[in-house]
Every structure is written in structure tokens, then in C-alpha cells.
Amino acid sequence: MMLRLLMSAVLLFSAVEPSLVLNGSGIRKKFFIKVYKGSLFLPAKQSDAAAILAADTPRRMVMQFLYSVGKGKIAEGWDEGLEANTPNASAEVKANFKTLASWMDDMKDGQRIVLTYIPGAGTTVEVNGHNKGTLAGKPTADAILATWIGPKPGPGDDFKKKVLGSGP
């Protein structure tokens, strides 16, 4: 009986949790300070930013903080990233970014923000192990990821190249 319960839990988890591979990781630096390590997980390795954004497939962004950052600075980064990479964002995407910013906490060295997009379900936001909620819609998921791999990535072009798996 216990084995059957365990197998059911594994099958349920597998149905909800996509199988993803590490596409690439980069370090977000501000001046000489290493702020966080960003890792992008996709169903299969892909180096074309446009193709990644066009695909309606699961994806995960993980921000592992290497330096303490206040929630206001993190929220500011989301706002700047949206403006720079999705300048014609819909009202829904803008509202979702306000919600995303409100879910941020002060982050300390070693803490993580995890954003997981599942087609049809939305982007689940976990901040330091706490599920903050889910943001609906692929346009929001694309705008979030564009802050890293869009035309003007907030963390910089070297970071973008590394999360796309094509950096040195």
C-alpha cells in the first residue's frame, strides 16, 4: 500500500513538474559586485532567444543570490526590464509585473527566486522557498524571460549569452 502511494505521488509530481535541462547560467554583476547567479532551464538546450520566447513550452528561471538585495531594488529591476524589453506590454502584463514586484522579499546571500512557466497554467513564483502565487498568461511569461534574453537584458549581454548556453 505504501509503495502504491509513493508511486502515485511520483506520477502526480511528474505530470505537474516538467522535465527540464540546464540551458545555461550567468552571473549578474553590478559594478564589481556579483549579485546573483541566474540559470535558465528548458525542455531541451536552445541558443536562439527568439525561438525560446516563441515556444509555448515549460521553462524555469532560477536566481541564486550571492549578495543581499532589498526588495525595492529587485522590484525596480523587474520594472526596468519590462520597459526595456517589452515596451508595448499590454495592461495585463503590466498589472502582472506590479504583482510580481509586490511578491519580492529582501534577499540574502544563498536565497533564491524561482519562476516556473507551465503552458496553460502560468508562471509560478517562489521567493526563498515560499510560493507567492501564479501569474497567468504566456505574454507575462515571455516578458519575464525577456528581462534576461530580450534585446536589452538587464543583467547585460554577457549574462544573456551565458544563459543561452553560448557564452564563454
pLDDT value at position 4?
42
Neighbours of 11 (CB within 10 A): 10
User: What's the domain range around 83?
Assistant: 22-163
Does 36 reside within a domain?
yes
DSSP string, 157-168: HHHHHHHTT---
Does 12 reside within a domain?
no
Based on the structure, what is the number of domains in the chain? 1
**CATH code of the domain covering residue 71:** 3.50.70.10
Residues in contact with 154: Cβ distance below 8 Å, sequence separation at least 6, in sequence order: 28, 77, 80, 81, 84, 147, 148
Q: pLDDT of 114-145, one tens digit each?
A: 999 999 999 999 999 999 999 999 999 999 99
Does 110 reside within a domain?
yes
Helix or strand or coil: residue 115? strand
pLDDT confidence of 168, banded at 50, 70, 90? low
Q: Give the closest residue to 54 by CA, choosing from 149, 157, 132, 168.
A: 149
Total-model pTM: 0.88
String of b and e for 20-36 (b: at least 16 CB within 10 Å)? beebbbbbbbeeeeebb
Does 85 reside within a domain?
yes
Half-sphere exposure of 122 toward its Cβ, with a 13 Å CA cutoff?
13
Q: pLDDT of 13-65, one tens digit each?
A: 344 456 999 999 999 998 889 999 999 999 999 999 999 999 999 999 999 99
